[in-house]
Amino acid sequence: MSQFTSGFWDVYIAVISVASIVACAVFLKLQSVRKSVEADTTGHVWDENIQEYNNPMPRWWAWLFYLTVAFSLGYLVLYPGLGSFQGTLGWTQLGQLEAETRAANAQFGPLYDKYARQDVSEVAKSAEALAIGQKLFLNNCAQCHASDGGGSRGFPNLTDRDWLWGGTPEAIKTSITEGRRGVMPPFGPVLGEQGTRDVAHHVLSLSDSTHDSIRAARGKEKFAQVCAACHGAEGKGNPALGAPNLTDRVWLHGAGEAAIVEQVTKGRQNQMPSHKDVLTPAKIHLLTAYVFALSAPPR
């Protein structure tokens, strides 16, 4: 990879950029001079009598292009664009972001701090706080959980009371701050095709879904051997591990024999990223209140 990080490429980009701009200026100059030919036209004719005259482009038009050339050169002097040269103004995207972030924190920091001193359950009762929390949610969470928090296949619904890692304010805040990683190992090689189907039907029986009772009976023992350690002997899940409750009818990755067989066979790995490096503790506190209110509307 050293050939892609050497200083050669900085020089290469700078030369190509400057050469391209200069070439545009030279081309404009050539097109602005009337060529010496015997006739006043280029010899091109359309529709029998429409001829192309050998005239240079209008001066006002040419000067507009020259202005763009001058602007390009001035921009490359002031701003980054020539390899590793940072520009005389020292502007960077990161610097601008940090400056805008500091300005926003200075303006809205007191408002966030006011709610940070309150319990999440109290903040969840404030319409103003929920309005702010909704904006935080739309900017940071809606991409996966949908704008209304309803989730989608593979992404939990935050509006019900079914929680993989717990639905208390403390658990929600931990999920947002530290992120979560749920891992279900593949059991297909251990159970085999028929054993996997048996376990799938036992899982279906736990929620009283349509199932084969004979296969479910055979799968009960296998479930106790390979699944109960995480999901519990009764299949009610374990929030400490993020193991879902299998006795309800909330299916994160789809219901039915085929979907469950796939999950048992191949396993699952789901990850929610940590937001502690993206959001301040005060913003996470507000966002926690908003998510908490989605499934526990304040009375």
Q: What is the spatial distance between Cα 78 and Cα 250, in angstroms, rounded to a whole number? A: 57
Instruction: Give tens-digit pLDDT for 248-289.
Output: 999 999 999 999 999 999 999 999 999 999 999 999 999 999
Cα–Cα distances in Å, from 129 out to 45, 132, 150, 152, 181? 71, 5, 20, 26, 29
Write down the pLDDT at residue 1: 47
Instruction: Give tens-digit pLDDT for 239-250.
Output: 999 999 999 999
Write down the pLDDT at residue 5: 65
In 3D space, the residue among 108, 238, 239 whose CA is nearest the CA of residue 170 turns out to be 239
Write down the pLDDT at residue 248: 93
The amino acid occupying position 144 is: C
What the block records as the tokens of 14 is 């700078």
Instruction: Give tens-digit pLDDT for 146-163.
Output: 999 999 999 999 999 899
Domains 111-179+274-295 and 182-272 share a fold: yes
pLDDT surpassing 50 at residue 116? yes
Domain 182-272 in CATH: superfamily? Cytochrome c-like domain (1.10.760.10)
Write down the pLDDT at residue 42: 73
Dihedral pair phi/psi, residue 277, rounded to 5°: -95, 0
pLDDT surpassing 60 at residue 293? yes
pLDDT surpassing 90 at residue 181? yes
111-179+274-295 has CATH 3.40.50.2000 classification: no
Q: Which residue has the higher pLDDT, 36 or 7?
A: 7
Dihedral pair phi/psi, residue 55, rounded to 5°: -110, 145
Please classify residue 297 by burial: count the beta carbons closer than 10 Å to its beta carbon, then call 0-12 exposed, 13-18 middle and 19+ buried: exposed
State the chain's mean pLDDT as an integer. Answer: 90
pTM (whole model) above 0.75:
no
- SS3 state at 227: coil
Mean of pLDDT values over 135-144: 96
% residues pLDDT > 90 (the chain): 75
Instruction: Give tens-digit pLDDT for 84-101.
Output: 888 999 999 999 999 998
Q: What is the spatial distance between Cα 215 and Cα 290, in angstroms, rounded to a whole number? A: 43
Tell me how many helices (H) and strands (E) the chain has.
12, 4
Instruction: Give tens-digit pLDDT for 185-217.
Output: 999 999 999 999 999 999 999 999 999 999 999
Domain positions in the chain are 2-78, 111-179+274-295, 182-272
% residues pLDDT > 70 (the chain): 95
Write down the pLDDT at residue 108: 87
